[in-house]
C-alpha cells in the first residue's frame, strides 16, 4: 500500500521504517527541513537501536521517502498516519497544537478516499473531533474514515515492539477500515482489539497509567522495606511470581520518566477532573514519583551529611537505558537538583553529552570517577551494570556508590572496597 506518515520522531520513524521494510511504499513527512535532510542522507536524528540500518536499507530501495511536501505525500497515499508529538502544556493537559496543525494542513489536501489513522496519543474524544474538523473544513464524508490506532512501542526496543506487539488496537466507526488495517499490518501476528474511537484512546492512557501506578506501588513499598531493612528486589520477585501480579514493572528505583508515562498520567488526571471524577490513584502515583529523588538524597545524607560539599559523579542522564531521550528524565532532575544544591557534579552518559552549567561532562566512564567522592548510578545502562568495579574503586577518592536503579550487585561492590548504598537493599 502507499502510506503517508506525518511526523518523523520516535513513533513516525519506526512506523515508516517497519512498514517500508514489509513492502509498503512510505512517504514520511516532517516539517523540520533539517531533520528531513538528515534522514535523506541516511542519518537518524534519534538513538534507537537497529533503526538506522533498516531505514537506510529501505531508503536506498526507494521504498521509504523523506519529504516536507505533505501535498504530494497525501495525494500518493491510501492511508495517512498522524504521528506528531502531543506534549503536555504548562498545566499538565495535552497540548494538541501540533495535532491540530496537521488537521488544518490535511483538510484541503483530501480530495479522494483516504483513511486517516491517529498514532499519536490523544485525549478521549479527539478522534471524533478530528473527523468533525475535517468535514467542517470541506472534506467530503465519503472521502474520509478516521481510525484510532494507538502505539505501544517502548523507546530502546521500538522496532521489536512494532514487529511483535501484544495486540493491535483499532478504534473505528466503519467496519471497512479493519480489512485495510489488516492488509497494512500483514506481517504482524497479534490479536486485534476492535473498539470505538474513544475506546482506543482510553486503552492507550489506561496502559500507561497502569504502568505508572505499578512503578509507584513498588517504589512506595521500597520506602517501607527500607525502614524494615528488607530487600525490595526479593519482595518484587516474590509478588511477581503470582501471575495476577506479574514480574514486569516492579523494578524499584528513581521512578518513571520519559516522554509518555508522566505526560499521559497527567493528561488522564485532567480528563478525569473535566468530568468531575477525582483521580485519587493517578494523583497518588505522581506524588510518589515526585518524592523519590528526595528519598535517595536523604539516604545519601545519612551516610554523608555534607554530601553537597563533595565531588559527585553521576552515571546516566537519559530517562532509561538504550535511548537518548531526556524528556522528563528522573536522572536529569537528580543532576539539576545536585547542581542547585551547589555540588561539584561530574557527568557521564553513554549516548548523551550534556552541557549543564557548573558540571563537567566526560566521554569516558572511568575518567568521570577520577578523584570523585561519591558515584551515583541514575540510569541502568548495561555498561554500568558490567563495570570493572576494581578499576572504579581505584579511580575514586571516596568509596560511596549510590545505586538509584537497584541494578548493581552490592556484594561485588563491597568486594572491591566500595560502600554500596541503595534504598531497601540491605
Ligand atoms: N516516543 C514514544 O516512545 C511513543 C510511544 C507510543 C506513543 N507515542 C506517542 O506518539 C506521538 C509522537 O511521539 P514521538 O515521541 O514520536 O514524538 P517526537 O517529538 O519524537 O516527534 C514528533 C515529530 O513530529 C513533527 N511534526 C510536528 N508537527 C508536524 C507537522 N504539522 N507536520 C509534519 N511533522 C510535524 C516534529 O517535527 C517531530 O519530528 C505522541 O503522541 C506520543 O505520546 C510515543
Ligand atoms: O520496573 C520499572 C519499569 C520502568 N521504570 C521506569 O519507567 C519509565 C518508562 O519506562 P518504559 O515504559 O520502558 O519506557 P517508554 O519507552 O516511555 O514506554 C512507555 O511509554 C510508551 C509511550 O506511550 C508506551 O508506548 C510504552 O508501552 C510504555 O512502556 C522509565 O523511566 C523507566 O526507568 C521503572 O522505574 N521501573
Beta bridge partners of 361: 347
What percentage of the chain reaches a pLDDT higher than 70?
100
Pair 204, 350 in one domain: yes
Same domain, 144 and 213: no
Mean pLDDT of 82-102: 97
- Is the same domain home to 232 and 216? yes
Q: What is the pLDDT of residues 106-139, one digit of tens each?
A: 999 999 999 999 999 999 999 999 999 999 999 9
Chain length of the chain: 426
User: Does 286 share its domain with 327?
Assistant: yes
What rounded mean pLDDT belongs to the chain? 97
Tell me if 145 sits within 8 A of 112, measured CB to CB: no
Q: Say yes or no: 189 and 289 in one domain.
A: no
144 three-class SS = strand
Nearest-atom number in ligand 2 for the CA of 258 is 17
Could you say which of 194, 229, 246 is where a domain stops?
194
The verdict on 190 and 338 lying in the same domain is no
Q: How many domains does the chain have?
A: 2
Phi, psi (deg, nearest 5) at residue 202: -75, -35
* CA 28–ligand 1 middle distance (angstroms): 12
Task: Give the integer Cα–Cα distance in Å for 29 and 388.
Answer: 45
CATH code, 414: 3.40.50.720
- My answer on whether 53 and 183 are in the same domain is yes
pLDDT at position 358, please?
87
> Are residue 332 and residue 379 in the same domain, yes or no?
yes
> What are the cell numbers at 350?
553513554
CA 217 to chain centre: 20
Ligand 1 residue neighbourhood (C-beta within 6 Å): 6-12, 29-32, 35, 83-86, 98, 101-102, 105, 119-121, 151, 153, 155, 259-260
Is 210 assigned a ligand-binding role in the annotation? no
User: How far apart, in whole angstroms, are the C-alpha atoms of residue 396 and residue 372?
Assistant: 5
User: What is the whole-number distance in angstroms between the Cα of residue 98 and the centre of ligand 1?
Assistant: 9
What's the CA-to-centroid distance between 9 and ligand 2, angstroms?
17
Over residues 41-68, mean pLDDT: 96
Q: Which three cell numbers stand for residue 64?
A: 521509504
The residue segments making up the domain with residue 379 are 196-426
- Average the pLDDT over 379-396 and give the result: 98
* Cell, residue 400: 560511596
- CA 14, CA 246: separation in Å to the nearest integer? 28
Burial 61-76 (b: 16+ CB within 10 A, else e): eebbbbbeebeebbbe
Whether residue 190 is found in the same domain as residue 204: no
- Residue 81: strand pairing partners: 5, 117
Q: Please check whether residues 164 and 242 belong to one and the same domain.
A: no
Are 161 and 204 in a shared domain? no
3-class DSSP assignment, residue 73: helix
- Given 161, 194, 227, which residue is the final one in a domain? 194
Higher per-residue pLDDT: 70 or 354: 70
| Residue with grid cell 488496537, as numbered in its chain | 169
Q: Measure the CA–CA gap between 21 and 15, rounded to whole angstroms.
A: 10
Amino acid 197: pLDDT: 98
The rounded distance, in Å, linking the Cα atoms of 125 and 337 is: 38
Residues 237, 296 within the same domain: yes
- The owner of cell 563491597 is 414
**HEC-encoded secondary structure of 307-364:** HHHCEEEEECCCCCCCCCCCCCCHHHHHHHHHHHCCCEEEEECCCCCCCCCCEEECCC
| Position 89 confidence tier, pLDDT thresholds 50, 70, 90 | very high
How far does Cα 224 stand from its chain's mean position?
28
The pLDDT confidence band at residue 377, using thresholds 50, 70 and 90, is very high
Please say which residue of 162, 194, 226 terminates a domain.
194
The reply to whether 265 sits in an annotated binding site is no
Catalytic hit among 4, 260, 404, 407 = 260
pLDDT tens-digit map of 392-416: 999 999 999 999 999 999 999 999 9
Q: pLDDT tens digits for 280-304?
A: 999 999 999 999 999 999 999 999 9
Active site residue 4: no
pLDDT band at 269 (very low <50, low <70, confident <90, very high): very high
200-256: per-residue pLDDT in tens?
999 999 999 999 999 999 999 999 999 999 999 999 999 999 999 999 999 999 999
Pocket of ligand 2 (CB under 6 A): 121, 151-155, 208, 211, 215, 249-251, 253, 255-258, 260-261, 319-320
Q: What is the mean pLDDT of residues 161-177?
A: 97
Amino acid at each position: 500500500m502507499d502510506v503517508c506518515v506525518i511526523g518523523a520522531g520516535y513513533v513516525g520513524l519506526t512506523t515508516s521504517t517497519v512498514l517500508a521494510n514489509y513492502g509498503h511504499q512510505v512517504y514520511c513527512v516532517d516539517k523540520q527541513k533539517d531533520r528531513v535532510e538528515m534522514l535523506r542522507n541516511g542519518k537518524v536524528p534519534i538513538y534507537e537501536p537497529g533503526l538506522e540500518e533498516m531505514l537506510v536499507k529501505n531508503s536506498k530501495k526507494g521504498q521509504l521517502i523523506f519529504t516536507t511536501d505533505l501535498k504530494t505525500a497525501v495525494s500518493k497515499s491510501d492511508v495517512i498516519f498522524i504521528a506528531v508529538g502531543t506534549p503536555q502544556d504548562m498545566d499538565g493537559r495535552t497540548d494538541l497544537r501540533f495535532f491540530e496543525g496537521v488537521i488544518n494542513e490535511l483538510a484541503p489536501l483530501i480530495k479522494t478516499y483516504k483513511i486517516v489513522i491517529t498514532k499519536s496519543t490523544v485525549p478521549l474524544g479527539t478522534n471524533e473531533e478530528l473527523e468533525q474538523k475535517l468535514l467542517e473544513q470541506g472534506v467530503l464524508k465519503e472521502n474520509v474514515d478516521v481510525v484510532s490506532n494507538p502505539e505501544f512501542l517502548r523507546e530502546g526496543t521500538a522496532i521489536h515492539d512494532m514487529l511483535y506487539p501484544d495486540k493491535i488496537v483499532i478504534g473505528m466507526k466503519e467496519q471497512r477500515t479493519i480489512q485495510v488495517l489488516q492488509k497494512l499490518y500483514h506481517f504482524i501476528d497479534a490479536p486485534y482489539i476492535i473498539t470505538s474511537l474513544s475506546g482506543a484512546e482510553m486503552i492507550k492512557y489506561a496502559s500507561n497509567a497502569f504502568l505508572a501506578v505499578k512503578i509507584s506501588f513498588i517504589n512506595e513499598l521500597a520506602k517501607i522495606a527500607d525502614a524494615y531493612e528488607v530487600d525490595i528486589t526479593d519482595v518484587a520477585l516474590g509478588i511477581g511470581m503470582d501471575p495476577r501480579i506479574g514480574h514486569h514493572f516492579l523494578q524499584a528505583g528513581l521512578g518513571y520518566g520519559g516522554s509518555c508515562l508522566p505526560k499521559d498520567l497527567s493528561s488522564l488526571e485532567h480528563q478525569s477532573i473535566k468530568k468531575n471524577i477525582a483521580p485519587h490513584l493517578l494523583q497518588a502515583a505522581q506524588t510518589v514519583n515526585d518524592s523519590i529523588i528526595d528519598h535517595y538524597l536523604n539516604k545519601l545524607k545519612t551516610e554523608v551529611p555534607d554530601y553537597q560539599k563533595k565531588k559527585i559523579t553521576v552515571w546516566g542522564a537519559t530517562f532509561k537505558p538504550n535511548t537518548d531521550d531526556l524528556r522528563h528524565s528522573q536522572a536529569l532532575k537528580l543532576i539539576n537538583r545536585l547542581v542547585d544544591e551547589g555540588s561539584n557534579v561530574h557527568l557521564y552518559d553513554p549516548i548523551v553529552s550534556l552541557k549543564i552549567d557548573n558540571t563537567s561532562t566526560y566521554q569516558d566512564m572511568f575518567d568521570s570517577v577520577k578523584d570523585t567522592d561519591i558515584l551515583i548510578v541514575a540510569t541502568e545502562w548495561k555498561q554500568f551494570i558490567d563495570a570493572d568495579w576494581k578499576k572504579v574503586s581505584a579511580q575514586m577518592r571516596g568509596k560511596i556508590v549510590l545505586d538509584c536503579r537497584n541494578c548493581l550487585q552490592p556484594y561485588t561492590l563491597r568486594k572491591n572496597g566500595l560502600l554500596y548504598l541503595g534504598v531497601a537493599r540491605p
